[in-house]
Structure 1
């Protein structure tokens, strides 16, 4: 027991030491809309209303990920603000807990594997092999974005609860073999189910955990009573069951593909291109894990070329063959080395959602966080127990931990500063449009307008169909007090008309809208309104676009058009309360307090039924109204 506690202490210490340089870095990219700009996370009390409002304030995924969103709100509350350091330390703690659970799970699985082979797992060898697997996973640089990229807490929290689900399930399953169903087993199964629910509401990837459990049953519980009874069924009955499963699988696959197809409207690739490209991407992930070159890692991997067929590029076919051969080893070693089969199966199951036909971005390193645990189990399963206390094993493990830890440490140093991160990312991925945009933004914040302009121009060349880069380019020109050429605006409008409205474009519009009220961005208002006019022609029922053009009209003091736009925005989406607050702000500035009271009544009524309630903003608006009334009574207008 002392040995295990000492190892866990060293494990957590190593994790904090390696990630220490990166915890002082800022919020970046998706952190901004999901966390920093989410007013519902700014809770002041831990009452039920505040907690539920913050938990349901997410927009990512079909389940909105309330567990992760609640954790962000609690971070805000206990840190007294959006302090990036507090959020990143919390992520490091979650990563440490995942590593501890992986260690526990690894010991459980190695014991199961030994039983499966009718062997006895030597405690000492089991400990050392589990410790090696856990430590190598914990310090590997591919996990860095899941730790230092704050919003990816969704990934690490889901992994944490998924590990808890698997560990408690195995404990319950072992007890069921020995004692049948007892209150202890029932409690463990309930705990496992609770962990699965928490994992699902952290990120939807946890929907794959039941498949991993089924694979666990097939590989490490092959002699269970359920499987034995199934094998004893008449052949005709088994055929009916197999046929039913095949039909169900086909129907589910058809529904999922149909669902996924609807999401490609905002992507620069189609379902075939993404599915084929993912063959190369998964192979690329394996290369990153096995040969962790620091210049190969990155925040974005949009410099990966799309596969348009199995032979274009040729590496698509070679990747497909490689993955098929690798998957076939699962069945070859299923009886001889069940832990290897289980671990490798876990890796491939873990990639079924994010590395298949769903309309997500092509590649992200954080997608390996949970699947990599399975791969690490498979790799260490290839090491015979007798070598676990060998000096060569210790030496090799120590050297690998040093190499991986040093690489992660160097990456953490880069992540500790926004400008440094952008410059290193651009050096490692010069052909990534998103990285060039990141470099442009970092240089822009530093006041280096020349580098900012050069980088955003390169991003536009690398990705000519991405409208967001053209919007950012105009924003840079405006703030650097340069004239925006007429042709630049015409080219931007042409892109808006002809290209898809990507999430990056919507994010750029949102960011620029916040600048319009500043004097330095006033020259951009006319162009901004023209952008929104084109977008509204394309998507006339998109509430958000009417809201944004309303903000632009308000910034230009054209209050009549602003009010019309905000009213139209709210009519299109009754749950969207932002336009009502903007309308109240206009009437407040005009001194029309009766209108403000009327809108407050609307907000109170809508707030009850809204999915995204805004009690704090409503309270603030009421306070502003009372102050305005008090000021009006203290300074009455002279009689006319």
Structure 2
């Protein structure tokens, strides 16, 4: 009697050698390209602006080595304010885009579409070669993946390249490990194993969830090797196949631990900081509320894959209300998902011995493992729902769905036309919805309005629309949407601040600025705007105090990216108190910090014209002269000060040390 594993291998090999394979891959690629052709005309929107347009690593303003110590947004990983998202390979592709075509959005989108097409083709190959789906059903799975509307955020949004690139490398890693059906069971080559680890590491450098492919490879290897492992356990004797599996498992686990250790070390001892606006459930004091909400969010993500109709680029701030009671009807969705998972687990365990339902096991692994980090069960994430994180898990969902269709097809004879018609209709609907959704990503205005239509209770959507209307000088409409944002989220500091800037009565504006500072004590713009109000009220001392607070906050947050803001604020302080030497010295020091030595010299000299032998200015001039290669002049300056002023020996000695 033929062994179960051999029977499975024969099935897979026959699918791999199907002569229509080339046509299948070409068809899937054509669908992917046609669905996203209209995304090529899109602009930089949403997160594309800070991740690309404002990212010094992308613009070539830093060395290549900086890419490996900075996060996805160009901030040092060691910075406490870093987002801690480490994706240097994705940033490197952005930089290559910039070198080849500048900041032309067309080519950034084109790279995304090409990568998505590659992912769809590789997924189709996995379905044929490893999952063992019949070629025509593998083509259906690939086509549904290529056209699925939930992928529009990852493909049409430029920053979604992290997910698409990670998916391509995820599939390459899996195929390197398991993609050779002609090999005997449990005879995975050493080259294939280390190649899979290499691609897995690259996937992690594209986006963090990419590293889960290494665990997927190991678990699927365990499934394939289970008959031999079980025999060794019951016979208390290690056979050849079990020994080989143990060696592979040891190498995989050591590699995985090594990669995870590197990734954890890059956190520099601090976890990313998220706010209650980013993930309200994570900050709720009730454990029951957190548990019920997180479980429901998992069910909601599955619903988005199953019915991707209501889509949004942002799901924060009240988009999905928290589940505060067991009696909430939304818990039924959680129960339904739980029942589905229990049934899948039961069928999967039963199949470990017979190994007749490879797509079932593979679908579960592809669905669960990459999605696990986004469930808030392992770590707290900075989002409620994010369609882009479903890019890889949708692979498993589609394998399960198409495998179910294949089983139904096999049991039907007379009514197969119904399945065929339904499949074609679903594919057409997906294609149409994707094309329409791509249009939402073409501009900032279209994206915000589509998001507000999908999640009208999202305070951030109203805030973003108000900002857009404010930029278009439609102030009455902007005030209305700021009011809506504050109605939905009364502690929204940025909405209070921007609302204050539109108030014609200073007293009303001051109320909003104070509210913004109350809810966000580190809000730079609110402090600055409140300082302007104090200036109008002739409260110069209070105005200067607010502006000094601004300078301190900006420096703490990131002096590299806000040097212009610090310079402008310090200049404003000097205008308010033009005869205060301390203000001029502080401005001169900042000029030295950002490398403007000439401006530093001029301002220090202005202080000396007001107060001869001013200690800080003498020190500043000495340091500036040394930086410009004039150490001898700096020493002569210090000596002259010492001669002209009694008791200046300390100043002289400090200045000479600075030289």
Q: How does 1:226-625 map to 2 (within 5 A)?
A: 226=229, 228-233=231-236, 266-268=275-277, 269=280, 270=282, 272=287, 273-293=289-309, 296-302=310-316, 303-307=318-322, 309=324, 311=326, 313-315=328-330, 317-334=331-348, 335=351, 337-357=357-377, 358-384=380-406, 387=409, 390-475=416-501, 477=502, 483=504, 485-499=506-520, 550-556=566-572, 558=574, 580-581=593-594, 584=597, 586-587=599-600
Structure 1 residue 126 displacement after superposition = 1.4
The structure-2 alpha-carbon separation of the partners of 1:342 and 1:561, relative to structure 1 and needing over 3 Å to count, comes to farther
Q: Which residue pairs with 1:151 in the alignment?
A: 159
Q: Is the 8 A contact 2:592 2:624 kept in 1?
A: no
**Structure 1 residues 338-357: Cα deviation after superposition (integer angstroms, max 9, x where no partner):** 42243134312222111224
**Inter-partner Cα distance in structure 2 for 1:104 and 1:171:** 9
Structure 1 residue 77 displacement after superposition = 0.7
Structure 1 residue 291 displacement after superposition = 2.2
Q: Which residue pairs with 1:106 in the alignment?
A: 127
Q: Is the 8 A contact 1:261 1:359 kept in 2?
A: no
**Inter-partner Cα distance in structure 2 for 1:528 and 1:35:** 35
Q: Which residue pairs with 2:148 in the alignment?
A: 140
**Structure 1 residues 63-89: Cα deviation after superposition (integer angstroms, max 9, x where no partner):** 621101101111111112x22221111
| Secondary structure in 1 matching 2:36 | helix
Q: How does 1:85-234 map to 2 (within 5 A)?
A: 85-111=106-132, 126-171=134-179, 175=183, 177=185, 180=187, 185-223=189-227, 225-226=228-229, 228-233=231-236
**Inter-partner Cα distance in structure 2 for 1:174 and 1:297:** 42
Q: Is the 8 A contact 1:497 1:534 kept in 2?
A: no
Q: Is the 8 A contact 2:492 2:519 kept in 1?
A: no
Structure 1 residue 6 displacement after superposition = 3.2
**Structure 1 residues 377-436: Cα deviation after superposition (integer angstroms, max 9, x where no partner):** 111111236837954443322211100110111111222232222223222322111211
Matched, 1:32 2:32: no
**Inter-partner Cα distance in structure 2 for 1:66 and 1:458:** 39
Q: Is the 8 A contact 2:563 2:594 kept in 1?
A: no
The structure-2 alpha-carbon separation of the partners of 1:290 and 1:64, relative to structure 1 and needing over 3 Å to count, comes to closer
Structure 2 gaps of 5+ residues are: 1-17, 74-82, 238-252, 576-580, 607-617, 630-659
The structure-2 alpha-carbon separation of the partners of 1:56 and 1:485, relative to structure 1 and needing over 3 Å to count, comes to same
Structure 1 residue 226 displacement after superposition = 4.3
Q: Which residue pairs with 2:635 in the alignment?
A: none
Structure 1 residue 132 displacement after superposition = 0.3
**Inter-partner Cα distance in structure 2 for 1:557 and 1:539:** 15
RMSD of aligned Cα (Å): 4.5
Q: Is the 8 A contact 2:41 2:442 kept in 1?
A: yes
Q: How does 1:625-640 map to 2 (within 5 A)?
A: none
**Inter-partner Cα distance in structure 2 for 1:561 and 1:313:** 61
Structure 1 residue 108 displacement after superposition = 2.0
Aligned length: 537
Q: Is the 8 A contact 1:148 1:415 kept in 2?
A: yes
141-150 or 533-542, which deviates more? 533-542
| Secondary structure in 2 matching 1:110 | coil
63-72 or 270-279, which deviates more? 270-279
Structure 1 residue 492 displacement after superposition = 2.8
**Inter-partner Cα distance in structure 1 for 2:295 and 2:498:** 33
**Structure 1 residues 508-558: Cα deviation after superposition (integer angstroms, max 9, x where no partner):** 88xx99x99xx9xx999x999877766899999656599687344235263
Q: Which residue pairs with 1:242 in the alignment?
A: none
Q: Is the 8 A contact 2:60 2:95 kept in 1?
A: yes
**Inter-partner Cα distance in structure 1 for 2:550 and 2:494:** 13
**Structure 1 residues 555-582: Cα deviation after superposition (integer angstroms, max 9, x where no partner):** 52639777777899x9xxxxxxx99327
Structure 1 gaps of 5+ residues are: 112-124, 235-244, 571-577, 605-640
**Inter-partner Cα distance in structure 2 for 1:528 and 1:15:** 57
The structure-2 alpha-carbon separation of the partners of 1:201 and 1:403, relative to structure 1 and needing over 3 Å to count, comes to same
**Inter-partner Cα distance in structure 2 for 1:373 and 1:359:** 22
**Inter-partner Cα distance in structure 1 for 2:211 and 2:229:** 23
**Structure 1 residues 31-89: Cα deviation after superposition (integer angstroms, max 9, x where no partner):** 22222111232239xxxx84333454434664621101101111111112x22221111
The structure-2 alpha-carbon separation of the partners of 1:127 and 1:469, relative to structure 1 and needing over 3 Å to count, comes to same
Q: Which residue pairs with 2:64 in the alignment?
A: 51
Q: Is the 8 A contact 2:90 2:205 kept in 1?
A: yes
**Structure 1 residues 263-300: Cα deviation after superposition (integer angstroms, max 9, x where no partner):** 5663343354555322122211222222232xx11111
Calculate the TM-score normalised by the size of structure 1.
0.72
| Secondary structure in 2 matching 1:299 | coil
| Secondary structure in 1 matching 2:372 | coil
Q: Is the 8 A contact 2:67 2:92 kept in 1?
A: yes
**Inter-partner Cα distance in structure 1 for 2:449 and 2:146:** 26
**Structure 1 residues 433-470: Cα deviation after superposition (integer angstroms, max 9, x where no partner):** 12112222333333333323322221122111121222
**Inter-partner Cα distance in structure 1 for 2:110 and 2:624:** 42
The structure-2 alpha-carbon separation of the partners of 1:417 and 1:585, relative to structure 1 and needing over 3 Å to count, comes to farther
**Inter-partner Cα distance in structure 1 for 2:232 and 2:585:** 69
Structure 1 residue 10 displacement after superposition = 3.2
Q: Which residue pairs with 1:618 in the alignment?
A: none
Structure 1 residue 147 displacement after superposition = 0.8
Matched, 1:69 2:88: no
